[in-house]
Amino acid sequence: MARDRSERARWRSAADLLALVRREPGITRAEAAQRLDLSTGSATEITARMRELCLLDEAPAPASGRGRPTTLLRPHPRGPMVVVADLRQEDWRCAVAAVDGQVRILESARHDTRDPRLVLGRLGQAVERARRRFPDRVRAISVAVPGVVSGGRLVQAATLDWSPEDLADLTDLVDLAGNSGDADEPGGGGGVSLLVGNDATLAGVAEARTGCAAGAGTALHLLVEVGIGGALIHDGRPVPGQGGAGGEFGHLPFGDRSLRCPCGARGCWDLEVDGRALARHLGEPPPADPRTFTRTVLDRTDAAARRAVGSVVAALGSGIAGLVNAHDPELVTLGGLAVPLRAANPTAFDAAYTDGLMTFLRARPPAVLDARHGDAGALNGAAAVGLDQVTGESALAAWARERRPR
């Protein structure tokens, strides 16, 4: 029993150290010991053990005056990795991340079809190529998708015009059958976990972990692409709702009740804050690619375009105020097209945001900040939740068992 407790304590210390390396890539061993309140001897012992298990490596830190030299902590070149896939409205990206959370894109391609089987098939093949490139290292596959995710399934992707699709097709294509780890403790059985998350939610996770919301107890993240999604993040993790589909803010009835949303509801906020709304204000037909259309309108200088942008920006600010009234976050972060939209007419945004707040909030309204991760938000968030699985205590113990001499 005492031995088991000691073993768990060691893996807890290892998990804490890896979490720190993710929060502060390039941290030195001495700084890590200070952050985790470890003695120099304990820090040396832990890092030596993690080096033997191919979890961390060390490199000499740049000299900085007098004192004993220290080392930089970095991922081991044979250590565990996560394959990260980002399925977007117009394209997909496939990347990898090691235990420091730094994402490296391997492949990307634009869609030349909307057929979900073909799109998912091509993405799955890219994931398989990534696994083959790093044999025996990939421990999780984390996928960001632009739709409603519940129970690990993409249950609605209205903006892609897809019916409910089971992303387990990816699992088949990368030949993970029979190798999915322990169902009760993901990653605990030494297999490869498949994780699926909403892109806006994952972008919010990235901002809360290593972006402009880092350190905030509660933050609201909003992402405008085709429609608007987001997440309420508490202590670095999204508030998921009963089935994991929380954060579908774009389908709140903040819009025109005469308009039917592709999701099936009427009056969705989605229809007020993207390229479809801009086209409607301009008297133009709905654009095939609302994202590109938005950027085109933002580049225009004519009065009609400026009025359309002002209306959309006001709808954005007003809706955000409603969410702030409901959730009382410390701050709000904006990603995707929300950033250039607000920048195009900050006066309209500020007026709508302030006017929509309850009186007691107006004296000190939550700051609204541009997301730090920008276009890479969903990728970084998917890497973060994948590494949560890979660097948990049970997953690290499984990794170590596989590397012990038999």
Q: Which residue segments constitute the domains of the chain, with CATH numbers given?
A: 2-75 (1.10.10.10), 81-201+378-403 (3.30.420.40), 214-371 (3.30.420.40)
Angle at 209 between CA 100 and CA 136, to 5 degrees: 30
pLDDT at position 33, please? 87
Quick one: pLDDT at residue 371?
95
- In three-state form (DSSP H/G/I as H, E/B as E, the rest C), the secondary structure along the chain is CHHHHHHHHHHHHHHHHHHHHHHCCCCEHHHHHHHCCCCHHHHHHHHHHHHHCCCEEEEECCCCCCCCCCEEEEECCCCCEEEEEEECCCEEEEEEECCCCCEEEEEEEECCCCCHHHHHHHHHHHHHHHHHHCCCCEEEEEEEECCEEECCEEEEEHHHCECCECCHHHHHHCCCCCCCCCCCCCCCCCCCEEEEEEHHHHHHHHHHHHCCCCCCCEEEEEEEECEEEEEEEECCEECCCCCCCCCCHHHCCCCCCCCECCCCCECCHHHHCCHHHHHHHCCCCCCCCHHHHHHHHHHCCCHHHHHHHHHHHHHHHHHHHHHHHHHCCCEEEEEECHHHHHHHCHHHHHHHHHHHCCHHHHCCCCEEEECCCHHHHHHHHHHHHHHHHHCCHHHHHHHHHHHCCC
| Tokens linked to 305 | 């375009």
18 pLDDT higher than 50: yes
- Whether 25 has a pLDDT exceeding 90, the answer reads no
Least confident of 24-38, 65-79, 343-357: 65-79
Hey, which residues does 231 pair with through a beta bridge?
Answer: 221
Angle at 297 between CA 294 and CA 299, to 5 degrees: 110
Q: Provide the whole-model pTM.
A: 0.85
pLDDT the model gives residue 3: 58
pLDDT category at 158 given cuts 50, 70, 90 is low
Which of 345, 344, 337, 346 lies closest to 375, judged by CA? 337
Q: Is the pLDDT of residue 151 over 60?
A: yes
**What's the pLDDT tens digit per position in 383-401?**
999 999 999 888 888 888 8
167 pLDDT more than 60: no
pLDDT tens digit string along 174-225? 444 334 333 334 444 457 888 888 888 999 999 999 999 998 999 999 999 8
322: left (phi over 0), alpha (psi -120 to 50) or beta: alpha
- Label residue 101 left, alpha or beta by phi (over 0 means left) and psi (-120 to 50 means alpha): left
Euclidean distance between CA atoms 50 and 396, whole angstroms: 10
Mean pLDDT of the 285-306 span: 94
The model's pLDDT over 119-143, given as tens digits with 9 standing for 90+, comes to 888 888 899 999 999 988 999 999 9
Q: What percent of the chain has pLDDT over 90?
A: 52
Round the average pLDDT of the chain to a whole number and report it. 86
What is the average per-residue pLDDT within 139-167?
73
Cross-strand pairs, 228: 224
